[in-house]
């Protein structure tokens, strides 16, 4: 039975045919750099547990895996075989989440030699993502993967109220 550490949401993105491994890693680095919640970890214990946001500079390569298929091994993206594989990937990635160690997201890029597009499966702990957040992350990931990495903030969403500020405001209001 999955526990707190694997309490996560999964999203599957269709990746463009010209996306490279390096560009994807760079894009994820930019997105993680922009969104502090993706660098969060749980500190403390019991009633004193809280989220702490880590410094910018974490390497996305540590949280990104690659699954290369050859010759249509998944037999196209819309089949039951692909759906089963996707469930296995999501379960596997969720099982590696460890909020206390700062591992609140994992991703796997699946490519197939007979398809022009790939699939990026991202699993993020529910502590740091919700339905609205996915839309923002999806937009930023699309921009980051299609733009120049030398201009890290160009085109990414304007930072709004961060997770930590929101949590502190809620705590203050409740007091």
User: In whole angstroms, what is the distance from residue 140 CA to residue 23 CA?
Assistant: 14
Q: Give 59-91 pLDDT, tens digit per residue.
A: 777 899 988 776 666 657 778 888 898 999 999
**Looking at per-residue confidence, does 102 or 78 come out higher?**
102
pLDDT of residue 1: 42
Give the pLDDT mean for 109-122. Answer: 87
CA distance 11 to 145: 17
Give the rounded distance of the alpha carbon of 22 from its chain centre.
16
Higher pLDDT, 112 or 63: 63
CA distances from 129 to 52, 87, 160 (A): 15, 19, 14
Q: In what order do the strands lie in the sheet with 105-112?
A: 8-15, 118-125, 105-112, 64-69
User: How far apart, in Å, are the Cα atoms of 163 and each of 1, 129, 132, 159, 168?
Assistant: 28, 9, 13, 11, 9
Closest CA to 127 of 2, 3, 7: 7
Q: What is the pLDDT of residues 11-66, one digit of tens each?
A: 999 998 889 999 999 899 888 988 888 999 999 888 888 888 887 776 777 899 98
Of 1, 4, 7, nearest to 123 (Cα)? 7
How much is the mean pLDDT over the chain? 83
Contact 113, 69 (CB under 8 A): yes
Helix axes 21-34, 131-146, angle to 10 degrees: 130
């Amino acid at each position: 039975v999955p526990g707190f550490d694997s309490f996560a949401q999964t999203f599957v993105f269709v990746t463009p045919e010209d996306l490279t491994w390096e560009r994807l890693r760079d894009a994820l680095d930019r997105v993680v750099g922009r969104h502090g919640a993706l660098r969060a970890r749980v500190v403390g214990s019991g009633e004193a547990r809280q989220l702490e946001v880590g410094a910018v500079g974490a390497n996305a390569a540590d949280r990104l895996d690659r699954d290369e298929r050859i010759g249509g091994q998944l037999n196209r993206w819309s089949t039951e075989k692909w759906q089963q594989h996707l469930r296995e990937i999501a379960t596997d990635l969720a099982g590696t989440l460890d909020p206390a160690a700062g591992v609140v997201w994992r991703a796997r890029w699946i490519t197939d030699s007979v398809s022009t597009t790939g699939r990026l499966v991202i699993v993020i702990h529910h502590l740091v993502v919700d339905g609205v957040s996915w839309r923002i992350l999806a937009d930023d990931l699309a921009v980051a993967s299609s733009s120049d990495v030398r201009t890290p903030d160009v085109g990414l969403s304007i930072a709004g109220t961060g997770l930590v500020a929101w949590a502190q405001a809620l705590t203050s209001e409740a007091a």
